[in-house]
Structure 1
Amino acid sequence: MGRSLKRIALVVTVGTLLSKVGGLVRQLVIAAAFGVGAAYDAYNYAYVLPGFLLILLGGINGPFHSAMVSVLSRRPRQESAHVLAALNTMVSAALLLLTALLVLAANPLITLVGPGLSPELHRIAVVQLQVMAPMALLAGLIGLGFGSLNAADEFWIPAVSPIMSSLALVVGVGVLWWQVGTDIGSMQFALRGGIVLALATLVGALLQWLIQLPALIRQGLTKMQLVWDWHHPGVREVLQVMGPATLSSGMLQINVFTDLFFASGILGAAAGLGYANLLVQTPLGLISNALLVPLLPTFARLTAPGDRPALVARIRQGLMLSTASMVPLGAMFVALGTPIVALVYERGAFDAQAASLVSGLLMAYGLGMPAYLARDLLVRVFYALGDGTTPFRLSTAGIGLNVLFDWLLVGGPTPWGPQLPFNFGATGLVLATVAINLLTCAALLLGLHSRLGGLPLQRWAFDGVKVLWAGLAAGFAAWALATLMQWPQDLLGLLIEVCLSVITGLAVFALISISLGVAEVRELARELRYRVIPR
């Protein structure tokens, strides 16, 4: 079993790595072609609803995927094929209606999401939403199919499938760039470029669904017919799991709508958030998979009252490992935000002004990196304890606080209120998210403290402060090296500057953390040394 879990984790990690690399290449192409211009800025508003459905319904660990895995894993293959066919039929009927609604109501929906958009941006976003509307149907089919494949021990295709979406966008933008030249970012080509972005995104979702069909056929999970069977026990069980999970997962995405609502009054803010978020999510996704995949089964096995000391020890280990990995990463984002963004994005239509916007957002994200992974880890502990209500309540409270913090921190004239004294602009949206995550982590820890009969929070906080001190020193060392040296500002010079500064910062972090007695950093350093120089 241990070897099997390690094999699955390896397959998922490699597939995720390839998908993240593909996503980064896609974003580089989009940045070079559009920068933070009208086509991509409008795209971020048009994509919010189709993208929300693709993540919610079609994403790995989403409610459709999780419900199919939990139910079909216990059923024979022939019955699983019947359940999948019935759910495909029912879900497709419902999502076809939703697709029609997105097409017909595109104009008011864009007004709702982005009330501060200019008329030109609004018109582009409406057309883009209408083009991408069929993604609602594809999202449901993708989630059901990938859940069925995971239940049948097929993990590679679901993990690597996002590459198809990235490939479609790279090809689409590349063809457009080849046809119209480097002037693609101008307003003259904004509508044409916006349609290409939307169409390529739709094609990418279609390819994500098509790539699973050969594996479903190979596993005997396909029925090429409509099946209306509401009363089958497997169908009813999937729907019972799927409903609450969809509601809970959907609550987390409402904050995205809130941020875009406030960002609509800031030129280029939505595009900048997309670029910065990709730089954050690429390493965060890899570290999250590497850390959470091995720990989650352990939490589930240690829920008996007699295992509480071991569970507390594992929670502490998980929190310290997440802190020890996220603090230096966040410190590098804060210290090296400007050269990192210049290295990754600054070319073509992505000019110095766009780089300045995204750099500020990346630095703000860096401040909250430790809370991102810690929040996810603590939520999983509650799920292992059979408590999904507490995370749901905190998510609901977070929505209200996010609206308040966005309003307070964005500053300037908001779409629906007066000008406030604070003026963080687009960076205020990120700072609001950071504040929500920190408060959520604190509430989750206090909830576990009460539920588990007490946690050594004071000792954990003391160890966390050691890691934070090491992170501050690492960030200062990286910033000093990048600032005091005269680096060439070409691509090679930026690459050398970022790499040497990051290596210096991480080395300082490791030395200080180990000298302060942080055991998890010592374990991480030992594991890395063995990987690089095996015995």
Structure 2
Amino acid sequence: MFIPRRVPPGARWPAADPDVLRPYDELATRMMPRIAAEPIGERLPEVQLERPKAGAEQAPSLARSSGRMAIATLTSRITGFAWKVMLAWVATLGVLYDSFTVANTLPLIINELLLGGVLTSVVVPLLVRSQDDDDGGEAYTQRLLTMAITVLGIGAIVSTAAAPWLTALLMNDTGDANPQLATWFAYLLLPGLLFYGLFAVLSAILNAKQIFGPAQWAPVVNNLVIFATIGAFALVPGDPTIVPTQMSDPQVLVLGIGVLTAMVAQALFLLPPLRRSGFRFQWRWGIDDRLKEFGGLALWILGYVAVSQVGMVINTRVLTAGAAGGPSIYSNAWLLFQLPYGVIGVSLLTALMPRMSRAAADRDYRRLIGDLSYGSRLTTLLLLPVSAVMAVAGTSIGIALFALGRGSVADAERLGEALAVSAFGLLPYALVMLQMRVFYAMKDSRTPTLIMVVMTAVKIPLLYLASSQLSPVNVVLGVMMVNSLVFVVGAVMGQVWLWVKLGNLRSKRVLGVILFTVVASGLGVLAAALVGMLVPDALGPIGQAWVKLFLQGAVGIGVSFGVLLALKVDELAPVKRRITQLLGRA
């Protein structure tokens, strides 16, 4: 018989999913005549209810869950990208922007080294399992949050004091970089480490409770505060061609304090929904058996993060040794690279993680493999056509978005070229992220670390090779391409390792979807390239870039998905039904 899990006092049931409730509705329909005919007081025979099967029957539900989050994620990614573009317009892709970019990276790196990588990878599966406790996992969650705040608070204090050494580690002073300016920004931004980490742990708690919306909308609040900051920065008196020479310079203070305020606002935004979920925080010290388990898993995750950050440090040093603008061009190209994944992949992974964690906890590996296979197929269908169009329209994207205001066409074109040469790595990157979540759902944090060791061992020599063989202006192109090649290596390794652990991964179906999508994307690229040739040069560089961007994007994506719908790919059936319904209503 179906026995509902205990819900802690004050908690709310998650929103009903029609696909989950449908079997129970059918059971009730079958039972009603028997209930009406049975004399009161006599025992009805038990009716066994089968668990809904994994795979196709669950896929529409997963698509709807990730679709709801995609709206918030799309808004977050667009506004996050927009403030980077605005800052490039008012500050140019030069020394000041490079210094701010390096300093803004430091809290992210240290947060990952302390708890960020652990919280986003291991905590959700453990929180899901703790919900089976008598108190619904509240005591475990309180201990975890107490430990996180303590570690992050100490880390913020120590890292702020060590700002000069941290910026020296990231920046190579043989190039056009300005370590002193980056240090000034670091003093203002590193206290935000506490709030970055707090946001991560609060998001994990909400996700484990199947509450996804607030964590998806919180970055929008962050971005809105930064918009106001950039507006104030633009009004501050100063010559954009002169680099600030002291920390008390109004430009440094406005930009640094404004971004720090945005970090605080993002974390605090999650407190009201957490309270509405029924969770009440109180300081709870001590280590129980679950936290010991968390510590064992966390050690391997910390190794994973440490290795990945070594690669990131080398990445930044190679960029700062090149021409001015390299770090900021890389940062914005990487943001554009991640934008499709952030809208599609992150929403899908957020919805998948609790499901995979529950399947792994129940040792239902058939359902776990079903979620992995469906996630891989849906990721391929949605991201491969986008990456193909990015490869064709990359230069137009860079010029259209970054050549306005104080930005230069040459730097914007270099940014677009960096995006184009790395676009092939978008799908492998998304698959690596999905594969890592499967390992963490099985409480295996060792394998992802070993995969990251191999990826970093491949990455570092290639970065130095690119730096030595390319001109300083083109180093950023080589760095972006190296990153994409490393994701290909990681995706292949992850798939082989999962096959060894789980057996049949339904890879034939995934490969079939990849083949169909490659064909469709190739036709989309061909159509986009032909349309781009029709745009006249008389429009000027920026005007021509905008027209190409809209035409190539619309034609390339439209042809790709049109071919996929014509091929009747099963995973797009819900989309096709929805379009048909909308057209019918129209």
Which band: TM-score by shorter chain?
0.7 to 0.9
User: Which of these two proteins has the greater Rg computed from alpha carbons?
Assistant: 2
* Structure 2 gaps, min length 5: 1-15, 21-60
Residues 513, 569 of structure 2: 8 Å contact kept: no
Residues 69, 150 of structure 1: 8 Å contact kept: no
Distance 1:407 1:378 in 2: 28
One-letter code aligned to 1:508: V
Partner of 1:208: 266
Q: Residues 364-404 of structure 1, C-alpha deviation per residue, up to 9 Å, x if partnerless?
A: 22121221222223333444555443322111111111101
Residues 169 and 328 (structure 1 numbering): CA distance in 2 closer, same or farther, change over 3 Å? same
Which residue among 508, 522, 528 is the counterpart of 1:472? 522
Distance 1:184 1:422 in 2: 23
One-letter code aligned to 1:432: V
> Is residue 483 of structure 2 the alignment partner of residue 425 of structure 1?
no
Which residue among 541, 556, 559 is the counterpart of 1:505? 556
Distance 2:203 2:568 in 1: 40
Q: Residues 405-452 of structure 1, C-alpha deviation per residue, up to 9 Å, x if partnerless?
A: 11122335xxxxxxx799951111111111111111222222334444
Residues 393, 548 of structure 2: 8 Å contact kept: no
Residue pairs, 1:450-461, within 5 angstroms: 450-453=500-503, 461=511
Partner of 1:417: none
> Is residue 536 of structure 2 the alignment partner of residue 486 of structure 1?
yes
Q: Residues 325-354 of structure 1, C-alpha deviation per residue, up to 9 Å, x if partnerless?
A: 222111111111122122222211221122
Partner of 2:319: 263
Residues 77, 220 of structure 1: 8 Å contact kept: no
Q: Please state how far the C-alpha of 1:503 moved relative to its aligned partner.
A: 2.0
One-letter code aligned to 1:258: I
Q: Residues 14-38 of structure 1, C-alpha deviation per residue, up to 9 Å, x if partnerless?
A: 3322211221221122121122111
Residues 132, 199 of structure 1: 8 Å contact kept: yes
Q: Please state how far the C-alpha of 1:309 moved relative to its aligned partner.
A: 7.7
Residues 34, 185 of structure 1: 8 Å contact kept: no
Residues 50, 133 of structure 1: 8 Å contact kept: yes
Residues 110, 126 of structure 1: 8 Å contact kept: yes
Q: Which secondary structure state, in structure 2, belongs to the residue aligned with residue 133 of structure 1? A: helix
Residues 117, 302 of structure 2: 8 Å contact kept: no
RMSD (CA atoms): 3.8
Q: Residues 181-205 of structure 1, C-alpha deviation per residue, up to 9 Å, x if partnerless?
A: 7x43642589643443322221111
Residues 374, 441 of structure 1: 8 Å contact kept: yes
Distance 2:252 2:174 in 1: 15
Residue pairs, 1:78-93, within 5 angstroms: 80=138, 86-93=143-150
Partner of 1:29: 86
Distance 1:200 1:482 in 2: 40
Q: Residues 97-147 of structure 1, C-alpha deviation per residue, up to 9 Å, x if partnerless?
A: 322322332222212111236586100011111111212222333333333
Moved more, 113-122 or 347-356: 113-122
One-letter code aligned to 1:284: Y
Residues 63 and 53 (structure 1 numbering): CA distance in 2 closer, same or farther, change over 3 Å? farther
Q: Which secondary structure state, in structure 2, belongs to the residue aligned with residue 142 of structure 1? A: helix
Which residue among 280, 303, 312 is the counterpart of 2:337? 280
Q: Please state how far the C-alpha of 1:207 moved relative to its aligned partner.
A: 1.2
Distance 1:153 1:463 in 2: 29
Partner of 1:448: 498
Residues 72 and 117 (structure 1 numbering): CA distance in 2 closer, same or farther, change over 3 Å? farther
Moved more, 284-293 or 430-439: 284-293
One-letter code aligned to 1:230: G
Q: Which secondary structure state, in structure 2, belongs to the residue aligned with residue 425 of structure 1? A: helix
Q: Which secondary structure state, in structure 2, belongs to the residue aligned with residue 166 of structure 1? A: helix
Distance 1:305 1:138 in 2: 34
Residues 135 and 147 (structure 1 numbering): CA distance in 2 closer, same or farther, change over 3 Å? same
Partner of 1:49: 106
Distance 1:197 1:460 in 2: 46
Q: Please state how far the C-alpha of 1:59 moved relative to its aligned partner.
A: 7.9
One-letter code aligned to 1:28: V
One-letter code aligned to 2:131: S
Residue pairs, 1:91-490, within 5 angstroms: 91-116=148-173, 121-180=178-237, 183-184=239-240, 186-188=242-244, 192=249, 193-219=251-277, 221-223=279-281, 227=283, 229-232=285-288, 236=292, 239=295, 242-266=298-322, 267-293=324-350, 315-384=372-441, 387-412=444-469, 424-453=474-503, 461=511, 464-486=514-536, 488-489=539-540
Partner of 1:66: 124
Q: Please state how far the C-alpha of 1:460 moved relative to its aligned partner.
A: 5.8
Q: Please state how far the C-alpha of 1:269 moved relative to its aligned partner.
A: 1.2
Residues 143 and 466 (structure 1 numbering): CA distance in 2 closer, same or farther, change over 3 Å? closer
Residues 104, 189 of structure 2: 8 Å contact kept: yes
Q: Please state how far the C-alpha of 1:256 moved relative to its aligned partner.
A: 2.2
One-letter code aligned to 2:489: L
Distance 1:93 1:309 in 2: 40
Residues 301, 446 of structure 2: 8 Å contact kept: no
Q: Which secondary structure state, in structure 1, belongs to the residue aligned with residue 405 of structure 2? A: coil
Moved more, 211-220 or 399-408: 211-220
Residues 107 and 118 (structure 1 numbering): CA distance in 2 closer, same or farther, change over 3 Å? farther
Q: Please state how far the C-alpha of 1:244 moved relative to its aligned partner.
A: 4.2
